[in-house]
Structure 1
């Protein structure tokens, strides 16, 4: 019955395969080392105030908006709090793309939810792949001016980890100035804060920036993100968002994370992550089965194995020991690539030792000699 009544294009649609959804079977969540979702390795400590839990929350909790306003140095009118950055993606597409008429533009390899959200809404997706150097194909983008209503850029990129140059972003903004909203996804910007384009909002009224507390702030389970934009854009997005998008407990915890002590903890966490990322990068570069390690400005490392057999062997060997990483080999130009989130020092040590032990087997030696 459901298939009969559902929109035709949704019947065969494959939903986004999140890290948890991939392992959603009974008992699959227990005893795992999760290095596949770019989460922080440990939570902070927060107290929840339940005094007003019987009341609906404010549409945009003032304490939260003011806290993020101070953090990002923008006026409250330029900020919309959302249920993670993912809701921001959906709101932008629903607001600016007419179903079955308009298109978004993405630059793969990139975050999968842009295309999924567009498909959910009935919008087409235009692809202009990144170059082999993972920079924007400016000439390719020029051919799509007037064709796309929303352009999604991700910097630092996911799953690549690299930053787009500010000149590339500026060129894209100027190119689409009269025809499209240009979204810069800064979910990982706390790892390269000096590369944010948030100060450009006054100059480019069609610029929209996505942020989240899920990564550097270690609050992935909270589901709290922010959309930063010109006041007129925020007004339009506010027309399609749910009436109570941010629950009171979420607002309370998020506000605390943005206070002075919370920001200090976040910055310490970023420093620790950068040290572990550098150590993991060096270790990968020293492995004979690894042909490329991508430069990263995020909380993960993407690397390429010498062939598919080795890639599959490493992925499966880790999974058998309950260590979960992300296979990115189906992404454009990422054949034989795996991504490791920067977990704790202990988790990364276990990952390395598990790989080393796995390659001592006869099977592994045979795999390593292929191709």
Structure 2
């Protein structure tokens, strides 16, 4: 069965073992997308969509030089009484150019990456959990928690293959790891084969988070390529690149080239079984507008478009996204990323120094352990150790870490994230890279908390 509304005469798929029509759920493949009013006409006397011809009824608060007020007034001047463009081709064209994609048609826009992830599960994975014959997804913990949440919402089972730790790294006492995480491709393959051959199930999606959350791990593209070309796997590899713009260092001469070199976006146009998700929430600093992105082969973008709700991207969101992707804004965006990378270097260096520090008037460790994972995102994952450990000992303490987390938030107003309940992250706190002032404050307050707890 052909994909509804698909572009005819698409090139032969690659790799040859992948057939999109056999991976998509049959009901989704047969879905005739809802045709909204703006699909047909967007100019003229528009009396076709039951919009309010009088416009919105929000009263302006009058002139002001306040920046926030000016922004509100600018938003109120938009055609808020009209449904938005359902396609947003100009935004897609700018994203395609930024990410060096073959065409704007390789871009899909969602309400945050989470809508995109949920749609992908609904498109590819048949709901229902029974003894055999299930569709499943595979994740590599520690990883982003929404993969499992979306799976549960959609009544889909999850196969978990832990990230590996690179050879030669240190095993911590009590099961902790001090290492650089990586995808264990052989373990993933064994899990897929076991599900298919022994249990009669099908792994439809492999989720890879790169750089990973909470580990900051950048996945080797050779590992991604190996899974894409592996004939036993008939599903889709989804590479979640929410933090991809933070790879590399502030000294990179051509940061865009470094990002492209390390991004799975380079596989779009070559492989038909890959989707890359990105967002404007992180490096663009636009978490509040909720714009997620899927970079994918054109047939998958078409299926996403067929399945999504109509008009999913609002007028204000589209307006701000367009401005953020303008040449002038991209120049500031690159500058901000360089600043955050500099700040990350300072935070990593300072936390590393604290790991060698002792409590006042003592030879005992302050209790800051090693940074775990890698530092390719806008956060750092650091262990909190048991109180009373000697400097250099690796004894992660999740109970103490949670107390430190609560003390920081409730007593001194510094909010980090407790991640000690994640696989391989015993005793870990995740600290987002802040401004120079914020980084200094979190370090100072962390030292104070460890002196008390």
TM-score normalised to the size of structure 1? 0.82
1:77 is the counterpart of 2:77: no
Q: Helix, strand or coil: the match of 1:103?
A: strand
Instruction: Please list every run of at least 4 consecutive aligned residues from structure 1 whose deviation after the TM superposition is greater than 4 angstroms.
Output: none
* Unmatched segments (≥5 aa) in structure 2: 1-67, 129-133, 167-180, 197-201, 248-258, 355-364, 386-396
Q: Give the number of the structure with larger relative contact order, counting CA–CA contacts within 8 Å between residues 6 or more apart.
A: 1
**Aligned-partner Cα distance in 2 for 1:129–1:80:** 30
Alignment of structure 1 residues 140-179 onto 2, 5 Å:
140-143=187-190, 144-145=192-193, 146=196, 147-175=202-230, 179=234
Alignment of structure 1 residues 271-290 onto 2, 5 Å:
271-287=338-354, 288=365, 289-290=367-368
**Aligned-partner Cα distance in 2 for 1:66–1:351:** 40
1:293 is the counterpart of 2:293: no
Is the radius of gyration larger for structure 1 or structure 2?
2
**Aligned-partner Cα distance in 2 for 1:62–1:137:** 38
Q: Is the 8 A contact 1:293 1:301 kept in 2?
A: yes
- C-alpha offsets along residues 26-49 of structure 1, whole Å, 9 cap, x if unaligned? xxxxxxxxxxxxxxxxx9x96436
**Aligned-partner Cα distance in 2 for 1:61–1:313:** 47
Q: Is the 8 A contact 1:201 1:207 kept in 2?
A: yes
How far the C-alpha of 1:262 sits from its partner, in A, is: 1.2
Q: Is the 8 A contact 1:107 1:153 kept in 2?
A: yes
Q: How many residues align?
A: 319
Q: Helix, strand or coil: the match of 1:149?
A: strand
Q: Is the 8 A contact 1:132 1:333 kept in 2?
A: no
Alignment of structure 1 residues 167-206 onto 2, 5 Å:
167-175=222-230, 179-192=234-247, 193=259, 194-206=261-273
Pair 268,91 (structure 1): closer, same or farther in 2 beyond 3 Å:
same
2:384 corresponds, among 294, 302, 305, to 305
Q: What residue number does 1:94 align with?
A: 122
**Aligned-partner Cα distance in 1 for 2:117–2:157:** 15
- C-alpha offsets along residues 240-264 of structure 1, whole Å, 9 cap, x if unaligned? 1010110111101001101111111
Q: What residue number does 2:407 align with?
A: 317
**Aligned-partner Cα distance in 2 for 1:354–1:51:** 44
Q: Is the 8 A contact 2:420 2:427 kept in 1?
A: yes
How far the C-alpha of 1:313 sits from its partner, in A, is: 3.6
Question: What root-mean-square deviation, in Å, do the aligned CA atoms of Structure 1 and Structure 2 show?
Answer: 1.8
1:62 corresponds, among 75, 86, 89, to 89
Pair 252,79 (structure 1): closer, same or farther in 2 beyond 3 Å:
same
How far the C-alpha of 1:180 sits from its partner, in A, is: 0.7
Q: Is the 8 A contact 1:78 1:231 kept in 2?
A: yes
Q: After the TM superposition, which of the residue ranges 48-57 and 338-347 deviates more from structure 2?
A: 48-57
Q: Is the 8 A contact 2:227 2:233 kept in 1?
A: no
Q: Helix, strand or coil: the match of 1:48?
A: helix
Alignment of structure 1 residues 203-218 onto 2, 5 Å:
203-218=270-285
Q: What residue number does 1:240 align with?
A: 307
Q: What residue number does 1:4 align with?
A: none
